[in-house]
Amino acid sequence: MDSELSQWITLLRSPLLDDRLVAIKTLQHLGDEDAIAPLIDALQDDDPTVQTLVITTLWEFAHPSAIPPLIGCLGSPYEAVRNEALSALKELVSTDDLMKLLDVLQTGNFHAQLNVLVLLRKIHDAQALPFILPFFESENAELREAAVITLRYLNQVVRCEPALALARDPSEVVRRAAVLTLGHLSDEGVVPLLSHLLTEDTDWQVRRNAAQALDTLADPAAIAALVAAVADPEWQVRKFAVRALQKVTDSRALPALINALADESSDVRRDAATALGNLGQTEALSALQQTLNDPDIDVRIFSERAIAQINQTLAQTAHG
Amino acid sequence: MTNLNTDLGFPTQRLQADVLVVGGGTAGTMAGIKAKQANPDSDVLILEKANIRRSGAIAMGMDGVNTAVIPGNSTPEQYVREITIANDGIVNQKAVYETGRLGFEVIQELESWGVKFQKDPDGNYDLKQVHRVGKYVLPMPEGKDLKKILTRQVKRHGVKVTNRVMATRVIVQNGRATGVVGFDVRSGDFVVIQAKAVILCTGACGRLGLPASGYLYGTYENPTNAGDGYAMAYHAGAEMTNIECFQINPLIKDYNGPACAYVASPFGAYTANAEGHRFINCDYWSGQMMLDIYKELNSGNGPVHLKMYHLDDDTIAKIESILWANERPSRGRFHEGRGENYRTHGVEMNISEIGLCSGHSASGVWVNERAETTVPGLYAAGDMASVPHNYMIGAFVYGRIAGENAVDYLQSLDHLEPDPDFLAAEQTRIYAPLTQPNGIPHTQVEYKLRRLVNDYLQPPKSPHKMEIGLEKFVAYADTLTAMGARDPHELMRCNEVSFIRDCAEMAARASLYRKETRWGLYHYRLDYPDRNDAEWFCHVNLKRTESGEMELFKRPVEPYIVDVDLKREVYDVAVR
């Protein structure tokens, strides 16, 4: 090790806080990998500012040897330390670290558990499933929410009955997350449950997310609920219900979609025009014509395209 | 022979490299890495006038990729088609194709280095559609450390880096590029670097026009990018192309940053007029779209704004965290200081000052699909090399192509000893402002020059105004000799002003030469308001003749490799 480097490493152990901070910043700029081991030792420093800066520096080195000590920082009593470690690990963790992360889930540290649930989304490995499920029963709503979001990111998991219960959770934050996750599952109860929540949940964000999930699933069984949701008091619910109806085309949606062409939200008007184009029924033509002088140019453009699409469908049927 | 720098007390430093990369930003770091990967025994040096850890257009980070051609979502052929239409047909399709073909590999390689791109729950790239056609926008919600990651890779690959040295001229001997000269912006040392191949990656000419705020460095582009490479390539004798196709962008009024509609629109935000209605006809980011915005701004429906106030609090909070934490941390403070809030206020937008940048439009140093300029041994990549609409991915792709081809090219070449007369003349030119420390400060000289650019070159372009502008830019060469500098840092600024003057003259001459309107607002001529394919379906290239004159000429558009019917396929969908 050259003398320039060793002088700063010695300073890392100075009793004076300012000395230690200068030493870390200098090591960060020098970027010499011989400093990694002493920096890992400095994670044990008493001062949280020093700890945070050391984490930033180790993050820049991005050396795998720093990953286990950084995982150890996820449960730190200091918020800044935890957050910096989480940011660094989001970049650094890989499949090789899965077992180390799962071990942390078994500890009783709330912060460490929450952060690990977030990191598992970067790894996508279905092996994590049995370790995540117990958190669905957690007393803590944040852990329930984090666990059901993580479920969404696990590859090959297409059925997970316990997730359905979280869509009826007393906390709306948990329900919002659970409903989006259900959009990626194929359990029998999913579409009826989402249809129910789309029309009945008291939280509009839950209803909006249910519409988004039903858009992903594109299941014709949801048609009645989607049509009803086109009259929801919240415009974002109406917008995503109309979007789902662009994929699930059904003539039962025709009257609701024609009404939606006069919606106060331009997004709803525009997306309804596209849905009507996909539906391809002549009954929509006169309503679409009326939107050609809409003040919003997107509505005009998409109405014009819908009219062209319906006319083309007609021409094909006439010749076919 | 007297050496001006030694008279002033600055020594001369001599360096050598096989491949010399000028500029350590997006394209430059990739060029260095790829040259080293192509031949680990080669000596690769990156020259950077700032510090490579935080330099270039992505100095802080990047919140998304604009041109991601991801298999299953789009193909290189589709990409070429859309860039061709967006540029009214004036493209070298072979060069554009490379960005589409290699972009996905670049994304995968960046990912292997630790750059995180947004993925959906199924692990697929979470591409967003932000225009009515094409789906190429890939968010990078954790992209704030991109530059640090690139710097780390430069180091790990054993690429040498010299920070704080500004290049001023390329050395050309026997018809090929053999190095560069410049100076250390801290110590003032004269620096001569011999190289077998030179790759210019110095970014856009972002300090051409003066922003409406009046601040010299309050530009849309990173203000360190003064057009250094444009001027160096020109003086080396390389062809420049499409210089009249200016870069103009919609941006936040009084704040030097984009409104980031790319980031906010997937969340439901959109650009609206004062009535709150969408108004943009054009389907793709292009001069045509800027013309839509220009017209609306100057109509009774202006001003225009990015509308988010119809969204809910949680959604706005998400947008804020991406915009403020990733790309421009000052943005949150800017709005706060004005008492504005996305929940209640639209983000008022304006049209930016003009600049030259192939990343967004098409102007730059002419390069082929091998990143070669018309001077052997001189390569260019990134915002200064004309591969239209190349953005960040294009800079990475062309950095890679330049790095690999340069290594291939130099195999049988030797270093040449620079001509002492050339070095002496260059010393005199570079250091002149230090000999008159009480000369006119560079800020004043630059301010006036860029005011002239605004007054006479800003579209819509008037021929008489441009003639006046040209006359003034030519005469400004004399004004530059009155500039004074007191230290090497001010000397750097003085040399940047001379680059800006070169770019202004090129911009005026090229704009006067192309007698038609093309690329929407970018080249909107009041005296020739229509597109004229019969006479002007070509590139306008320019170069420096042996006698030092600026020569302009037409260069035909190469045969297309992807068929596009430009009469039928337009992005201006023109609905009443």
* Average pLDDT, integer, range B368-388: 97
Return d(Cα A93, Cα A118) in angstroms, integer.
11
**By CA distance, what is A293's nearest residue in B?**
B576
Return d(Cα B352, Cα B294) in angstroms, integer.
10
Q: What is the pLDDT of residues B32-66, one digit of tens each?
A: 999 999 999 999 999 999 999 889 988 766 767 87
* Average pLDDT, integer, range A246-250: 95
Shortest CA gap B59–chain A (Å): 15
In chain B, what residues touch A61 (CB-CB under 8 Å)?
152
* Average pLDDT, integer, range A23-29: 92
Q: What is the pLDDT of residues B486-530, one digit of tens each?
A: 999 999 999 999 999 999 999 999 999 999 999 999 999 999 999
Q: How far is CA B234 from CA A89, B231, B544, in A?
A: 46, 5, 6
A90 and B142 in contact by Cβ < 8 A? yes
pLDDT over 70 (residue A223): yes
Which residues are paired to B193 by β-bridges? B15, B180
* Average pLDDT, integer, range A275-280: 97
Q: What residues contact A13, with CB distance under 8 A and at least 6 apart?
A: A20
Q: Is B125 on the interface with A (CB under 8 A)?
A: no
CA B321 to chain centre: 27
What's the first-to-final CA gap in chain B, in angstroms? Answer: 71
Suggest the residue from A61, A84, A91, A181 to mutate for an interface test with chain B (most B CBs closer than 10 A).
A91
Question: What's the pLDDT at A198?
Answer: 98
Which tokens is A172 given? Answer: 């709306």
Q: Is B142 on the interface with A (CB under 8 A)?
A: yes
Q: Is B155 on the interface with A (CB under 8 A)?
A: yes
> pLDDT over 90 for what percent of chain B?
72
In chain B, what residues touch A297 (CB-CB under 8 Å)?
277-281, 575
Question: What's the pLDDT at A61?
Answer: 87
Return d(Cα B161, Cα B96) in angstroms, integer.
30
Give me the phi and psi of A145, to 5 degrees please: -60, -50
Q: How far is CA A111 from CA A72, A78, B507, in A?
A: 11, 10, 58
* Average pLDDT, integer, range B373-391: 96
Question: What's the pLDDT at B574?
Answer: 53
Which tokens is A134 given? Answer: 């117990």
pLDDT over 90 (residue B125): no
* Average pLDDT, integer, range A237-257: 97
Shortest CA gap A292–chain B (Å): 8
B277 and A236 in contact by Cβ < 8 A? no
Question: What's the pLDDT at B3?
Answer: 62
Across the interface, of A59, A267, A297, the residue whose CB is closest to B280 is: A297
Return d(Cα B215, Cα B225) in angstroms, integer.
15
Q: Which of A256-260, B224-228, B346-350, B510-514 has the lowest mean pLDDT?
A: B346-350
**Please, are residues B107 and B397 in contact by the beta-carbon 8 Å criterion?**
no
Which of A68-77, B337-346, B350-359, B566-575 tops mean pLDDT? A68-77
Q: Report angle CA B358, B212, B214 to the nearest 5 degrees.
A: 105
**Please, are residues A228 and A210 in contact by the beta-carbon 8 Å criterion?**
no
pLDDT over 80 (residue B6): no
Q: What residues contact A291, with CB distance under 8 A and at least 6 apart?
A: A261, A269, A273, A299, A300, A303
B152 and A87 in contact by Cβ < 8 A? no
pLDDT over 90 (residue A35): yes
B277 and A266 in contact by Cβ < 8 A? yes
Question: What's the pLDDT at B576?
Answer: 43
pLDDT over 90 (residue B256): no
Shortest CA gap B210–chain A (Å): 32
pLDDT over 50 (residue B1): no
pLDDT over 60 (residue B2): no
Tell me the count of A-B CB pairs closer than 8 A.
59
Question: What's the pLDDT at A1?
Answer: 64
Q: What is the pLDDT of residues B82-123, one digit of tens each?
A: 899 989 999 999 999 999 999 999 999 998 888 888 887 777
Mean pLDDT of chain B: 92
Question: What is the predicted ipTM?
Answer: 0.81
In chain A, what residues touch B114 (CB-CB under 8 Å)?
62, 91-92
Within 13 Å and on the Cβ side, how many CA atoms surround A200? 8
Question: What's the pLDDT at B132?
Answer: 63
Which position has the higher pLDDT, B190 or B124? B190
* Average pLDDT, integer, range B555-575: 81
pLDDT over 90 (residue B323): no
Across the interface, of B121, B278, B314, the residue whose CB is closest to A296 is: B278
Q: Is B14 on the interface with A (CB under 8 A)?
A: no
3 state DSSP class of B22: strand
Burial class (CB in 10 A: 0-12, 13-18, 19+), B143: buried
Sorting pLDDT into bands at 50, 70 and 90, what band is B330?
Answer: confident
In three-state form (DSSP H/G/I as H, E/B as E, the rest C), the secondary structure along chain A is: CCHHHHHHHHHCCCCCHHHHHHHHHHHHHHCCHHHHHHHHHHCCCCCHHHHHHHHHHHHHHCCHHHHHHHHHHHHCCCHHHHHHHHHHHHHHCCHHHHHHHHHHHCCCCHHHHHHHHHHHHHHCCHHHHHHHHHHHHCCCHHHHHHHHHHHHCCCCCCCCCHHHHHCCCCCHHHHHHHHHHHCCCCCCCHHHHHHHHHHHCCCHHHHHHHHHHHHHHCCHHHHHHHHHHCCCCCHHHHHHHHHHHHHCCCHHHHHHHHHHCCCCCHHHHHHHHHHHHHHCCHHHHHHHHHHHHCCCHHHHHHHHHHHHHHHHHHHHHHHC
* Average pLDDT, integer, range B552-576: 82
A90 and B116 in contact by Cβ < 8 A? yes
pLDDT over 60 (residue B263): yes
Return d(Cα A64, Cα A33) in angstroms, integer.
12
Shortest CA gap B279–chain A (Å): 5
* Average pLDDT, integer, range A188-217: 97
> pLDDT over 70 for what percent of chain A?
99
Return d(Cα B84, Cα B284) in angstroms, integer.
11
